[in-house]
Chain A
Amino acid sequence: GAVVSQHPSWVICKSGTSVKIECRSLDFQATTMFWYRQFPKQSLMLMATSNEGSKATYEQGVEKDKFLINHASLTLSTLTVTSAHPEDSSFYICSASVRPGYGYTFGSGTRLTVV
């Protein structure tokens, strides 16, 4: 149980375009989802907390207008990287939780390369 599906697993896009990454909880309802970014040889860095039916909470230093998060249902959260630039190239990972603070399950990650 507690499977989180993330799509796509990798994407290459041109600089200036937008990319959408989906995170789905397959067998449970996720009231809260989290989006992380991981640079090579670095730890996961929390970008934002996505709450179903309300606005996402962004961590300090994360541009909310650049990283649009939508959590319109209890099983789906999307992260859209708008006007992507090469420095946005990274590994993006989502996680979902049925209950805050416990039972986190991570998606398989999305490798974004902006050229």
Chain B
Amino acid sequence: KNQVEQSPQSLIILEGKNCTLQCNYTVSPFSNLRWYKQDTGRGPVSLTIMTFSENTKSNGRYTATLDADTKQSSLHITASQLSDSASYICVVSADYGGSQGNLIFGKGTKLSVKP
């Protein structure tokens, strides 16, 4: 069964600190993995997208890594800011031979950045 598991479920850090969020998946066949940031009451906003051949992708203070062998990804946030408080969702796309992509969503990690 295709699944995406994220950890931790929630995380509280102090402003300025770094943190790393984890995503493990059992999706096959694999097309790509994306990290989204979802503010409360808003739609998800894309942070990074990585295909099978990419093992790291950065977007400002956000750096995502992908290990396709172990089927693990991480999202590292550097020098956190109060505005980073949000849910971070890992989404894996299953490639079904060219037909419509199937997105499998993780439940997200709720990050709270405190002053």
- B45 — which chain A residues lie within 8 A by C-beta? 106
B95 contacts which of A95, A101, A109 (Cβ < 8 Å)? Answer: A101
A interface bracket (residues with beta carbon within 8 Å of B)? 20 to 34
Specify which chain A residues have a CB less than 8 angstroms from the CB of B59 in the assembled complex: none
Asked if A109 meets B31 with Cβ closer than 8 Å, knowing A100-B100, A101-B93, the reply is no
Pick the residue among B42, B101, B108 that contacts A43 (CB under 8 A): B108
Bound together, the chains give a CA A109 to CA B41 distance in angstroms of: 7
Bound complex: CA of A6 vs CA of B44, how far in Å? 13
CA gap between A41 and B34 in the complex, in Å: 19
**Which B residues, 67 to 108, have Cβ-Cβ distances below 8 Å to chain A?**
89, 93, 95, 99-103, 105-108
Q: Which residues of A sit under 8 angstroms from B44, Cβ to Cβ?
A: 44, 93, 106
Distance to closest chain B CB from A75 (angstroms) = 17
- Closest chain-A Cβ to B111's Cβ sits at a distance in Å of 14
Residue of A4, A34, A108 with highest tally of chain B CB at under 10 A: A108
Q: What number of B residues sit within 8 Å (CB to CB) of A? A: 23
Q: For chain A residues 60-115, which have a beta carbon within 8 Å of chain B?
A: 91, 93, 95, 97, 100-102, 104-109, 111
Q: Is residue B46 within 8 Å, beta carbon to beta carbon, of the partner chain? A: yes
Set of chain A residues within 8 Å of B103, measured between Cβ atoms: 34, 46, 104
In the bound complex, what is the Cα–Cα distance between A41 and B9 (angstroms)?
10
27 A-B contacts, Cβ less than 8 Å apart?
Answer: A4-B43, A6-B43, A32-B100, A41-B110, A42-B107, A43-B89, A43-B105, A43-B107, A44-B44, A44-B89, A44-B105, A45-B105, A91-B41, A93-B44, A97-B101, A101-B31, A101-B93, A101-B100, A101-B102, A102-B31, A102-B101, A104-B34, A104-B46, A105-B46, A106-B43, A107-B43, A111-B41
